[in-house]
Amino acid sequence: MEISLETIISIVGLLLGGGGIGGFFTYRYTKRKERAEASTSEAGAAKEWQDVYQQIVSDLKSDRDEQKTYIQELKDDRRHLREERDDLRKRQDDLDDRIWNLQREVQRTTKLVEQMRPFLCQRAAVCKLRVPVEPSEDVASEEPQPEGNATE
């Protein structure tokens, strides 16, 4: 089997003319198709990332709104507690004043009783010489009478 120059030229012509040129266009078409698919895939991935970012932004916004609400509630609670604290301090001051006044009254009454002690009689119902005693308001300046002056 002898291969002639015409056979070689026809084979080369066939490869270049039919299959070679077709292969070249097929190769270019395949490359273009792969690039288009890659671009589509990248666009789909970018869309997915954008959706993820949108969800993150939405979550952060809702968290921020919840925190704002919580902070406002805490501020309201703090304001209420401050008002309550101030009311309790005022009540405590009022009670301290009342206690101080009652202590003064007890001291004054104690001095009055001490001042009147010499004039007290155990037989008050039968004592005919008994003189009613009017306690003075200024107890601190008055001195109690000696017990020897009491009459029955």
**Is position 79 within any domain?**
yes
Residue 3 pLDDT greater than 50, yes or no:
yes
Number of domains in the chain: 1
3-state helix, strand, coil split of the chain in percent (to 5) is 80, 0, 20
**Is position 152 within any domain?**
no
Residue 152 has what pLDDT?
37
Residue 13 pLDDT greater than 60, yes or no:
yes
Question: Can you give the pTM of this predicted structure?
Answer: 0.43
pLDDT band at 18 (very low <50, low <70, confident <90, very high): low
**Is position 43 within any domain?**
yes
What is the domain extent for residue 108? 10-116
Angle 100-103-106 (CA atoms, 0-180°, nearest 5)?
155
